[in-house]
Amino acid sequence: GIQVEQSPPDLILQEGANSTLRCNFSDSVNNLQWFHQNPWGQLINLFYIPSGTKQNGRLSATTVATERYSLLYISSSQTTDSGVYFCAVDEDSSYKLIFGSGTRLLVRP
């Protein structure tokens, strides 16, 4: 099956810093999403981005489908950005999302 690898596994930032999270996937995909799981466990959808670039406030994402990777950019980080960021993709011929193991982000004040 498709493999989804996220890096780095852990990241500690000072408030105001910028960061880039990476997601590599081993096969072509139709669906790629980024999620933020907050400290209360809720999964918040950030981007649906199987290709191209999108921006939403301080967050942006780029997926280069031909090279099988996606990047999530967080600028001017805030303490509320803390949590785990997941990349998830679909697996060919199945109706399920395959999640990466996540990047755990801690933003310190």
Binding site for another protein (CB under 8 A): 30-31, 33, 35, 41-45, 48, 86, 88, 90, 95-97, 99, 101-102
Between the CA of residue 56 and those of 72, 73, 86, what are the distances in Å? 11, 10, 17
Residue number with CB closer to another protein (13 or 84):
84
Minimal distance, residue 109 CB to another protein, in Å? 26
Neighbours of 39 (CB within 10 A): 9
Minimal distance, residue 17 CB to another protein, in Å? 27
Neighbours of 94 (CB within 10 A): 10
39: left (phi over 0), alpha (psi -120 to 50) or beta: alpha
Residue number with CB closer to another protein (83 or 102):
102
Minimal distance, residue 99 CB to another protein, in Å? 5
